[in-house]
Amino acid sequence: MSAHYELIGNAAVITIARPEVKNAIDRATAEDLAAAWRRFEADEAARVGILTGAGGTFCAGADLKVMDLWDDPAGFLGFTRLQVSKPTIAAVAGHCVAGGLELALWCDLRVAGEDAVFGCFERRWGVPLVDGGTQRLPLIVGLSRALDMILTGRPVDAAEAHRIGLVDRLVPPDTELAAALDLAEVIAAFPQVTVRSDRGAVYEGIGLPMSDRLTRERRHGRVALMTGVQGAARFAAGEAG
């Protein structure tokens, strides 16, 4: 298996395990990753999913030496068109480039070591962004910054990535997975019905008129209303936050 699944606390850690090629994705790895994320969705013990790479690098994108990927409905890289109902975090070390960047963008949050490098490196080879990069990157960093990265293919160091909002947490090298696990436990400690309903409302509202966004927020909020009532009762009874 070139993608490993491990439950650590409340988090499922999914590790791309091809360090000899900077965790580049071939067809077998894409299939392993798709299976891992489907396992995460079904795993009741996993409240948060963490994606990382073995050997001190995140992912260099598609394996251009074999080029055996195909347009699977779930995405060329295995899972970038899948949707999960639970929070996800990318724990990034080293190179997070080309399709690897698109994998990190699929995640809700990104924790990166200070040695991380981001970029649309496929630009130099004429390979298109087909795993969500053209759609997710502008939502995260804004249109102009996204186009700068996409059109130039330039490397973006971790400090700049943090400054423009591409990275949510910047940590010392070799601590990104530990930091992601800590963040996962913070999220996992909250009532999960509301965590997931609020997350779902955010994603469903993207690109819609405000009236439609509010309708979706209301629908998701009603699902979690009883959880909120129970939480208010705990607060009223004096439970510490």
In terms of pLDDT, which residue wins out, 226 or 33?
Answer: 33
Per the DSSP assignment, residues forming a β-bridge with 89 are 50, 109
Domain 3-188 has CATH 3.50.50.100: no
Provide the 10 A C-beta neighbour count for residue 217. Answer: 17
Query: What's residue 226's pLDDT?
Result: 81
Confidence band, pLDDT 50/70/90 cuts, at residue 237: confident
Percent of the chain with pLDDT over 70: 100
pLDDT tens-digit readout, 70-113:
899 999 999 999 999 999 999 999 999 999 999 999 999 999 99
Per the DSSP assignment, residues forming a β-bridge with 170 are 112
Residue 87, C-beta contacts closer than 8 angstroms, at least 6 positions apart: 47, 48, 49, 108, 109, 184, 187, 195, 196, 199
What whole-number distance in Å separates Cα of residue 85 and Cα of residue 170? Answer: 25
Average pLDDT of span 176-189: 98
Point out the residues that are catalytic: 62, 99, 102, 122
Sequence ranges of the domains in the chain: 3-188, 192-236
Confidence band, pLDDT 50/70/90 cuts, at residue 241: low
pLDDT tens-digit readout, 34-45:
999 999 999 999
- Which secondary structure element, helix H or strand E, spans residue 5, and what is its range? strand 3-8
Q: Which two tokens stand for residue 87?
A: 């929070």
